[in-house]
Amino acid sequence: MDKVLIVDDEPGALKALKYLLDWESYGFEVAGEAANGREALDRLAEDEFSLIVTDIRMPGIDGLELIRRVRELSGIPILVMSGFEEFEYVKACLKFGIKDYLLKPVAEEDLGRLLQDVREDLNRVRKLNRQLYHGMKAMRDQVLRQWASGAMRTQDAEERFRLTELPLDPSRHAACCLLVEMDFMDETDVFLTDGTIQVLRFAVRNIMEEIVGDGGCVFELTDQRFGILLYEERDRLTAEDVLSVADGVQVHVTRYAKVSVTIGIGDIVWPASSIPRSFAVAEKMLDRKFFAGGNAVIWKATFDEETPGEGTRELQPLLDAVACADEKQVHLLLKRQMERFAAGGARPAQVRSYMLELFVNLFHLLMKEGVRAESLFRDGGGSLAALEAKTISQLFAYAQTKCTEAIALRAASQSPQPVTTVEAIKRIVDAEYGSGTISLKAISEQIYMNPAYLGQLFKSAEGMSFNDYLLRVRMEKAKELLRKTDKKVLEVAMDVGYRELNWFYKKFKEYTGVSTSEFRAVK
């Protein structure tokens, strides 16, 4: 309810106006009364009102002076009550932008008409404010996304920071970028439709914004990832601060949104204009999710990482050799790299870091081509046992094996045409929709493709997610069974893949708009 303040020096008039009509039916409540302008100003200082209804002639601060003072601070709607002999006052009030005026004695119809007008105005202003807020939020997201990733110059970003009221000074502040990935997006849960996912994303973002507070801002990167930009005066942003935010996000999102997230932490940089470097490190850390496992906070210390030496320069030629299926060149490059590490006295942490980078890049090389990369590291689990190898030769022998396997996987995998792949998925759904275990992940194992890639392929071809498609198939089959058979609802639910009757009831009503009994009644 919007609060109304009534101002009149006549107690009888105050009471009469208060009970003249049902204020609540118009969305208002009389939450304050004042006998003159001074009392009204005091009430306005104590509480927030959405409408003022005031008399003109009052002792002390009269209605005209009250309106003038209110207008110095607020654009709150004001209705003025006046007699015929006070019209000159009314004209003066109109100069201050009052909403309208009422002639005394006030008629219920006149007041109701004006309250309806005020209600529509308030709703319109609030809608515009919401649109402005979401527009500003979207603009800020876009600016931060482009600036942090290095796609926008700092000078251009600064202009937009001012426009979106972001108090960040890239030349003065230190900054750190964190990337937050929602783990459930990888699990392809059959019960998560696009609508449900949007609700979860909204909840996760709200929780993160609460944790970050005024010390930074949250921005959207993709459907699966958010960025967090922390900034503070130089030397006041510490690793402990960053880890505290990351841990807080992970704990509270798990507790309140009931989903797990994995967080990659970038370097703290100064000045903040160097944020693309922090963003790149955060991306690199999040890439290691496959090896570190989900529901984790990953930063350099997670892998005992030190800055790699010159050997990292050999990584791209090695990946190129894998892409060209040149096993001889792969062997030669790995041999040279091992010799370089040995001759330079590289620390074990440096060698492990190099290997981890190699494995991550092999993983992405396969995923980009739709190859099921998980099979390459089935011996990995939460961490690769091979990284704990006792000797450098053992570690490089393992790397040679993985590169050879990657070449074999690429050779064995022929990228199918999208339509063919999607049709295969749809045929499997038509055959197995009654199974309670059907999922995109299970189908991906049948057709030997990466589930994330498969999901993107399906949505691109069909214009809807796999989960929404599966829901549609199940609901249409359920409608057919309810219409053409006398099966009990529990039997129908089981036939279309639901093991919990309440969940089936809920989904059926969401899909059709009616309950199962109502649907059957009109069949």
Q: Render pLDDT for 115-131 as a digit per residue (tens, 0 to 9).
A: 998 898 888 888 766 65
| For range 381-391, the mean pLDDT | 56
pLDDT tops 70 at residue 361: yes
Q: What is the pLDDT confidence band of residue 96, given thresholds at 50, 70 and 90? A: low
Q: What is the pLDDT confidence band of residue 5, given thresholds at 50, 70 and 90? A: very high
pLDDT tops 60 at residue 79: yes
Name the range with the highest mean pLDDT among 77-81, 243-247, 405-409, 512-516.
Answer: 243-247
* pLDDT tens digit sequence for 19-49: 888 999 999 999 999 999 899 999 988 888 9
pLDDT tops 90 at residue 212: yes
pLDDT tops 80 at residue 466: yes
% of the chain beyond a pLDDT of 90: 23
**How many other CB atoms sit within 10 Å of the CB of residue 150?**
12
| Per-residue pLDDT, 308 | 42
What is the Cα–Cα distance from 1 to 182, expressed in whole angstroms? Answer: 37
pLDDT tops 80 at residue 385: no
Q: How many degrees, rounded to 5, is the angle at CA 414 between CA 410 and CA 419?
A: 140
Q: Name the residue among 318, 413, 317 with its Cα closest to residue 373.
A: 413
CA distances from 324 to 264, 282, 396 (A): 31, 30, 20
pLDDT tops 70 at residue 370: no
Q: Name the residue among 271, 182, 281 with its Cα closest to residue 226.
A: 182
Name the range with the highest mean pLDDT among 189-193, 349-353, 382-386.
Answer: 349-353
pLDDT tops 50 at residue 91: yes
The pTM for the full model equals 0.49
pLDDT tops 60 at residue 73: yes
Q: What is the pLDDT confidence band of residue 87, given thresholds at 50, 70 and 90? A: low
Of the listed ranges 151-160, 242-251, 255-264, 303-312, the one predicted with least confidence: 303-312
What is the Cα–Cα distance from 446 to 429, expressed in whole angstroms? Answer: 12
Q: Which residue has the higher pLDDT, 189 or 442?
A: 442
Where helices occur in 193-274 by DSSP H, the ranges are: 194-212, 239-252
% of the chain beyond a pLDDT of 70: 83
Of the listed ranges 203-212, 327-336, 395-404, 445-454, the one predicted with least confidence: 445-454
Q: What is the pLDDT confidence band of residue 190, given thresholds at 50, 70 and 90? A: very low
pLDDT tops 50 at residue 311: no
| For range 100-123, the mean pLDDT | 84
What is the Cα–Cα distance from 412 to 512, expressed in whole angstroms? Answer: 44
What is the Cα–Cα distance from 294 to 292, expressed in whole angstroms? Answer: 7
Q: What is the pLDDT confidence band of residue 481, given thresholds at 50, 70 and 90? A: very high
Structural element, H or E, at residue 352: helix 348-368
